[in-house]
Amino acid sequence: MKKNRYRYTTILLMAIGLCACESELDITGIKHVPLLVVNSLVNSDELFSVQVSTTIPLKDTLYPKFIETAKVSVFDGVTLLAVLPYDLGAEKYVGSFKPSPGKIYTVMVEKTSFYTASGSMKLPEKLNSPSAKWMDNTGIDSLGFATGTITCFVADPQKDRNYYEINLYRYDDFDQSWYTVIPLPTDPLLNENAIRTEKGGMLIDDRNFNGLTKEFGFVTPFGSAGTQYKFLVEVRSLSDDYYRYLESLANYRSTSGLFSDPSPVFSNIANGRGICAGSSIEKDTIQ
Cβ-in-10-Å burial (0-12, 13-18, 19+) of 228 comes to exposed
pLDDT, residue 30, reads: 64
**Averaged pLDDT, 240-262:** 80
Q: What is the pLDDT of residue 20?
A: 42
Query: What pLDDT does 9 receive?
Result: 54
CA distance 104 to 81: 12
Mean residue pLDDT across the chain: 87
Question: If we measure between CA atoms, which residue out of 272, 275, 276, 274 comes closest to residue 35?
Answer: 272
What confidence score (pLDDT) does residue 228 get?
80
CA dist 19 and 266 (Å) reads 16
Burial label for 257, CB within 10 Å (0-12, 13-18, 19+), is exposed
Q: Taking the CB of residue 198, how many other CB atoms lie within 10 A of it? A: 13
What percentage of the chain's residues is helix, strand, coil (to nearest 5)? 10, 40, 50
Structural domain boundaries in the chain: 7-124+239-279, 133-237
Q: pLDDT (tens digit, 9 = 90+) per residue, 30-81? A: 677 899 999 999 999 999 999 999 998 867 677 888 999 999 999 998 899 9
For residue 259, pLDDT over 80 is answered with no
User: In 33-110, which ranges are continuous DSSP H helix?
Assistant: none
**Predicted local confidence at residue 8, as pLDDT:** 53
Query: Would the pTM of this model clear 0.75, i.e. be above it?
Result: yes
CB 106 within 8 A of CB 125: no
Local structure of 17: helix, strand or coil: helix
The radius of gyration of the chain from alpha carbons, rounded to an integer in Å, stands at: 21
CATH code for residues 133-237? 2.60.40
Mind listing the pLDDT tens digit for each residue in 89-144? Answer: 999 999 999 999 999 999 999 999 999 999 999 999 999 999 999 998 899 988 89
pLDDT of 115 reads: 97
pLDDT at 260: 54
* % of the chain at pLDDT higher than 70: 86
Query: Of 212, 168, 169, 170, whose CA–CA distance to 194 is shortest?
Result: 168
pLDDT at position 1 is: 53
Identify the pLDDT of residue 12.
53
Q: 119-123, 146-150, 158-162, 198-202 — which one is most confidently predicted on average?
A: 119-123
**Residue % of the chain over a pLDDT of 90:** 59
DSSP code of 183?
-
Residue 17: pLDDT over 60: no
Confidence (pLDDT) at 207 = 92
| Separation between Cα atoms, residue 52 and residue 272, nearest integer Å | 11
With left for phi above 0 and alpha for psi between -120 and 50, is residue 192 left, alpha or beta?
A: alpha
Instruction: Using the Cα atoms of residue 95, residue 283, residue 100 and residue 190 in order, give the sign of their dihedral.
Output: positive
Q: How far apart are CA 203 and CA 195, in angstroms?
A: 5
pLDDT of 25: 52
Q: Please check the confidence at residue 261 and state whether its pLDDT lies above 80.
A: no
Pairing of strands 272-286, 36-43: parallel
At residue 278 the predicted structure's pLDDT band, cuts being 50, 70 and 90, is very high
* Burial class of residue 30 (count of CB atoms within 10 Å of its CB; 0-12, 13-18, 19+): exposed
* Cβ 63 vs Cβ 6: under 8 Å: yes
Query: Residue 38 CA to chain centroid, in angstroms?
Result: 15
